[in-house]
């Protein structure tokens, strides 16, 4: 069964203190790995898609990387406005029901203190 775990569950950083969030996955053939940001009371906002091991994507202070078993979301010099829950999801190669092929992790709650 495809699974996604994320760590840590919650992370508190001081403004400017860089860190990384982890997403570990078990999937029967990876089609894509996705990172989303979710603010309280809102829907997830798409950040990145990664397709193969070794791939990296960057957007402002965020950089996502992918290996065969995990992905990291690196946050460089974070600001308070980066505070949110970061969700990771995987889509497995299509076969069988779609619902079994797109799985979200529980998320990491990031708080950046000024």
Partner 1 sequence: NAGVMQNPRHLVRRRGQEARLRCSPMKGHSHVYWYRQLPEEGLKFMVYLQKENIIDESGMPKERFSAEFPKEGPSILRIQQVVRGDSAAYFCASSPFTPRQGALGYTFGSGTRLTVV
* Residues of the shown chain interacting with partner 1 in the complex, contacts defined by CB under 8 A: 4, 31-32, 34, 36, 41-49, 51, 87, 89, 91, 94, 97-107
The smaller minimum CB distance to partner 1, of residues 49 and 76, is found at 49
Least Å from the CB of residue 98 to partner 1: 4
Of the two residues 16 and 95, which places its CB atom closer to partner 1 in the complex?
Answer: 95
CA atoms of 38 and 58, how far apart (whole Å): 18
Shortest distance, position 112 Cβ to partner 1, whole Å: 21
Task: Please say whether the beta carbons of 61 and 79 come within 8 A.
Answer: yes
Smallest gap from Cβ 106 to partner 1, in A, equals 4
Closer residue to partner 1 in complex, CB, 65/101: 101
> Among candidates 57, 48, 56, 61, which has minimal Cα distance to 110?
61
Please name the residues in contact with 71: beta carbons below 8 A apart, sequence gap of 6 or more.
22, 23, 25, 33, 35, 50, 64, 65, 88
Minimum gap (Å) between residue 14 Cβ and partner 1: 25
Nearer of residues 82 and 91 to partner 1, judged by Cβ:
91
4, 103 contact by CB (below 8 A)? yes
């Amino acid at each position: 069964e495809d699974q996604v775990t994320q760590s840590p569950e919650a992370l508190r950083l001081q403004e400017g203190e860089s860190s990384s969030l982890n997403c570990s996955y078990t999937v029967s053939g990876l089609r894509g790995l996705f990172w989303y940001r979710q603010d309280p009371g809102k829907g997830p906002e798409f950040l990145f898609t990664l397709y193969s091991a070794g791939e990296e994507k960057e957007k402002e202070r965020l950089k996502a990387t992918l290996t065969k078993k995990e992905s990291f979301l690196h946050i460089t010099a974070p600001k308070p406005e980066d505070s949110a829950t970061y969700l990771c999801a995987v889509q497995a190669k299509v076969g069988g029901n779609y619902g079994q092929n797109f799985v979200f992790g529980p998320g990491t709650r990031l708080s950046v203190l000024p």
